[in-house]
Chain A
Amino acid sequence: MSGTTQTSWRSQGELNIRESVRSFLTAAWLGWQIESNWTDPFLFAVYSVIKPIAGAAILVVMYGIITQGAFDSPLFAYIYLGNAFYIYVGSVMTGVSWAVIDDREHYKTLKYIYVAPIHVPFYLVGRGVARFLTGTISVLVTITAGVLFLNLQLDLAAVNWPMFFAALTLGIVMLASMGLVLAGVTMMIAHHVWFIGDAVAGALYLFSGAIFPLEVLPNWLRPVGFAMPLTYWLELLRRAMVGQVAASFPTLSQLTDGQLFVILIGLTVVFGFLSIIVFRWCEHQARERGLIDVVTNY
């Protein structure tokens, strides 16, 4: 009897994993189709890079007019790379959370997704994959433009690639978790905020040390920055790409790479659990209030 129960649990577990993987892959494919097939590939490519390039250019102009174009300074590399990798934050978080509005109010399919044998959190994370891919193109183009036109000091031979990819992977998992939290919140609010992911990403800019060292923040705000996994993620990426620049700033200089990884892993796990709890709670509230198929319009 006990053996039968164990076998049953195991097969149930395998079924759940299969269902989760299938939900994720199908959603990733669907998301890519939705994101990309509205136009021809050339226009899509142009569209994908103009927005982030313009975002980076705002900072370049701000920096250029104040420093009289001192683009050789380590501070510029610090700002530019932080801003380039921060593109992932908006992309992934928006990709995951926007799927709720898109499916609920535009395509009106969220209710069907809920009655289908789909693992909804994995489905939503899968929908974020397309934005992650376009975000990757944007990051590459932004960094290339920095090297070619703005004298960004980046030596590809000196980049610590294993550290870079390890940090990048951890960061994407962490961002997907944050996106899931946002997806839960999105489920409970009207769509008067179009891109909630962008809004939250814009706000977190302040605390992540992406575009200025945390020392610039007032003392009472710094702990928020130190509690954010984004801070450690960006620091690891900077150290992997331009170690000497990252070392010029005292914010996290007392921590070794290993310590940074441990903190990032710890915070990613915490955010992962938090995202499951928050999403489940929001989902329950949305069911209770009849918000799964609501259409809001002002």
Chain B
Amino acid sequence: MERATNFAKPYSTRLFFQTVIARAYPRVIGAQREKSWMFFEIFLPLLAVSAYVFVYRAIGAPETYVGFVVMGGAMTAFWMNILWSMSSQLFWEKEQGNLALYIIAPNSMMAILLGMALGGMLATTLRAFVIVFVGGLLFEVQFTVASFSALFGTFILTMVALYGMGMMFSSLFLLLNREAWHLASLAQEPIYLFSGFYFPLKSLGFWLAAGASIIPLAVGMDAMRQLVFPSGPSLGFLSVPIELGILVILSVVFLVGARYLLAHMERLAIREGRLTDSRR
């Protein structure tokens, strides 16, 4: 009887968190075992960031823009993580044959996605922090943080919305085949452009910037820049409280959307026989 009751409630809270930790574990520990990431994901991006810094110096830009580039360059790590390690991850798991195992195991797919998100976020935060720290030192960026708690809160809220978006995309990518690679690859430079990774968001003009605000990194980064650079507020798109409000809305929409889309896509994928499908 007790066994039957347990069977009827497979997604216990304990199992949920065990699944989250189990999926986050390889992200954090596995990546540390493969030391080459330090070179490819910290050193090389730092050089790429430096190139944009020198472009600004070549055209005589104010030093604030150098700080903008360093911060934007660090945040690219999160977007890459969302694209390649969240959005296309379920597609990749399907290609590897792991997805069917996830589905037949008595755990929640949301827990798996959350584990992927948390693991990726932790590992990527370390990379982003190193890029900001080293970039800040190399280019003598002046950070003037008025409120660390506000900055930390904005960062966390940005991450929640961003990884919520990643969780939602990952369920959408379940229905894709080879185009998943191409779509993920396509979503790099255009997002760097419309999110203002290397320049103030408001340079795009009001309507373009407003449209780009659906991308959590665009508004999150704009708010963080206003909080860490003395001239940040004058280059900000909207005031920080409004941007925080947008981030809250995005967080809720993306997380709820991820929950429903995942369930819907899982059903659709099962019905259309795509869970073990690998169209190569």
Q: Is the CB of B55 within 8 A of A59?
A: yes
Option from B34, B80, B96, B189 in Cβ contact (under 8 Å) with A190:
B34
Is A66 on the interface with B (CB-CB < 8 A)?
A: yes
Q: How large is the interface on A (under 10, 10 to 19, 20 to 34, 35 or more residues)?
A: 35 or more
8 inter-chain pairs at a CB distance below 8 angstroms, sorted by A residue, are A62-B65, A62-B198, A66-B60, A194-B80, A202-B47, A206-B54, A211-B55, A297-B96
Main secondary structure of the interface of A (DSSP, over half): helix
Q: Is the CB of A51 within 8 A of B186?
A: yes
Q: Is the CB of A65 within 8 A of B199?
A: yes
Near B by CB (< 8 A), chain A positions 272-298 give 295-298
Q: Is the CB of A216 within 8 A of B92?
A: no
Is A47 on the interface with B (CB-CB < 8 A)?
A: yes
Residues in A lying within 8 Å of B, measured CB to CB: 34, 38-39, 47, 50-52, 54-55, 57-59, 61-67, 75, 79, 106-107, 189-190, 192-196, 199-200, 202-206, 210-213, 216-217, 295-298
Q: Is the CB of B37 within 8 A of A193?
A: yes
Is B225 on the interface with A (CB-CB < 8 A)?
A: no
Determine the chain A residues whose CB is within 8 A of the CB of B27 once the complex forms: 298
Q: What's the Cα separation between A203 and B48 when bound, in Å? A: 4
Considering only CB atoms, which chain B residue lies closest to A57 in the complex? Answer: B193
Determine the chain B residues whose CB is within 8 A of the CB of A200 once the complex forms: 44
Main secondary structure of the interface of B (DSSP, over half): helix
Q: Is the CB of A50 within 8 A of B59?
A: no
Q: Is the CB of B185 within 8 A of A216?
A: no
Q: How large is the interface on B (under 10, 10 to 19, 20 to 34, 35 or more residues)?
A: 35 or more
Q: Is the CB of A192 within 8 A of B48?
A: no
Q: What's the Cα separation between A187 and B80 when bound, in Å? A: 22
Residues in B lying within 8 Å of A, measured CB to CB: 26-27, 30-31, 34, 36-37, 40-41, 43-45, 47-48, 50-52, 54-61, 65, 80, 84-85, 92-93, 95-96, 98, 119, 177-179, 182, 185-186, 188-190, 192-193, 197-200, 203-204, 280
Determine the chain A residues whose CB is within 8 A of the CB of B204 once the complex forms: 61
Q: Is the CB of B41 within 8 A of A193?
A: yes
Q: Is the CB of A193 within 8 A of B51?
A: no
Q: What's the Cα separation between A297 and B85 when bound, in Å? A: 10
- On whether A61 and B36 interact (CB within 8 A), knowing A194-B84, A206-B48, the answer reads no
How many A-B residue contacts, CB cutoff 8 Å? 133
Q: What's the Cα separation between A141 and B185 when bound, in Å? A: 19
In the assembled complex, how far is the CB of residue B31 from the closest CB belonging to chain A, in whole angstroms?
6
Q: What's the Cα separation between A211 and B30 when bound, in Å? A: 37
Q: Which one of B45, B51, B80 has the greatest number of beta carbons of chain A within 10 Å?
A: B51
Q: What's the Cα separation between A23 and B3 when bound, in Å? A: 60
In the assembled complex, how far is the CB of residue A36 from the closest CB belonging to chain B, in whole angstroms?
10
Determine the chain B residues whose CB is within 8 A of the CB of A296 once the complex forms: 34
Q: Is the CB of A206 within 8 A of B50?
A: yes
Q: Which one of B27, B41, B48, B177 has the greatest number of beta carbons of chain A within 10 Å?
A: B48
Q: What's the Cα separation between A196 and B84 when bound, in Å? A: 13
- On whether A66 and B61 interact (CB within 8 A), knowing A193-B40, A195-B185, the answer reads yes
Q: What's the Cα separation between A62 and B44 when bound, in Å? A: 21
Q: Is the CB of B182 within 8 A of A216?
A: no
Q: Is the CB of A202 within 8 A of B48?
A: yes
Option from B54, B65, B193 in Cβ contact (under 8 Å) with A216:
B54
Q: What's the Cα separation between A14 and B96 when bound, in Å? A: 41
Determine the chain B residues whose CB is within 8 A of the CB of A34 once the complex forms: 178
Q: Is the CB of B31 within 8 A of A38?
A: no
- On whether A58 and B193 interact (CB within 8 A), knowing A193-B37, A195-B185, A205-B51, the answer reads yes
Q: Is the CB of B36 within 8 A of A190?
A: yes
Q: Is the CB of A192 within 8 A of B203?
A: no
Option from A47, A107, A211 in Cβ contact (under 8 Å) with B182:
A47
| Known contacts A65-B203, A211-B55; 17 further A-B pairs (Cβ under 8 A) | A51-B188, A54-B190, A54-B193, A57-B193, A59-B55, A62-B56, A62-B65, A79-B58, A189-B34, A193-B41, A202-B44, A206-B51, A206-B54, A212-B58, A216-B58, A297-B98, A298-B26
In the assembled complex, how far is the CB of residue B92 from the closest CB belonging to chain A, in whole angstroms?
7
Closest 7 CB pairs of A and B: A202-B48, A203-B47, A212-B58, A54-B189, A205-B51, A203-B44, A54-B190
Considering only CB atoms, which chain B residue lies closest to A105 in the complex? Answer: B96
Q: Is the CB of B280 within 8 A of A107?
A: yes
- On whether A212 and B54 interact (CB within 8 A), knowing A62-B198, A189-B36, the answer reads yes
Q: Which one of A189, A196, A199 has the greatest number of beta carbons of chain B within 10 Å?
A: A199
Q: Is the CB of A67 within 8 A of B193?
A: no
- On whether A54 and B192 interact (CB within 8 A), knowing A205-B48, A206-B48, the answer reads yes
Considering only CB atoms, which chain A residue lies closest to B61 in the complex? Answer: A66
Determine the chain A residues whose CB is within 8 A of the CB of B57 once the complex forms: 212, 216
Q: Is the CB of B189 within 8 A of A62?
A: no
Determine the chain B residues whose CB is within 8 A of the CB of A205 once the complex forms: 47-48, 51
Q: What's the Cα separation between A45 and B26 when bound, in Å? A: 38
Determine the chain A residues whose CB is within 8 A of the CB of B179 once the complex forms: 38-39
Considering only CB atoms, which chain A residue lies closest to B48 in the complex? Answer: A202
Considering only CB atoms, which chain A residue lies closest to B36 in the complex? Answer: A189
Option from A38, A199, A216 in Cβ contact (under 8 Å) with B44:
A199
Q: Is the CB of A192 within 8 A of B54?
A: no
Option from A47, A51, A61, A206 in Cβ contact (under 8 Å) with B199:
A61
Determine the chain A residues whose CB is within 8 A of the CB of B36 once the complex forms: 189-190, 192-193
